[in-house]
Amino acid sequence: MAHLGTGIEYALHCLLWIAQPLPKPPSSRELAALQGAPAPFVAKIFGKLEKAGLVDASAGIRGGYRLARAPEDITVLDVVDAVEGRKNLFDCQNVRSRCALYEGQPPDWSAGSVCGIHAVMIRAEQAMRDELGRATLGTLAAGLARKAPPEFDAQARRWLAARSGTRDDARVAALKQRKRFP
Q: Is 44 buried (19+), middle (13-18) or exposed (0-12) by CB count in 10 A?
A: middle
CATH of the domain at 33: 1.10.10.10
Residue 114 lies in a domain: no
First to last CA, the chain: 51
Q: Which helix (H) or strand (E) holds 169?
A: helix 150-180
Per residue in 97-156, pLDDT (tens digit) is: 777 777 777 777 777 777 888 889 899 999 999 999 999 999 999 988 888 888 888 888
Residue 99 lies in a domain: no
Residue 108 lies in a domain: no
Residue 95 lies in a domain: no
In angstroms, the CA 53 to CA 67 distance is 9
Instruction: Write down the pTM of the prediction.
Output: 0.79
Residue 116 lies in a domain: no
Question: Taking the mean position of all CA atoms in its chain, how far away is CA 140?
Answer: 13
Which domain covers residue 17, as residue numbers? 6-86+136-180
Say how many domains are in the chain.
1
Per residue in 56-110, pLDDT (tens digit) is: 998 776 789 999 999 999 999 999 999 998 888 777 777 777 777 777 777 777 7
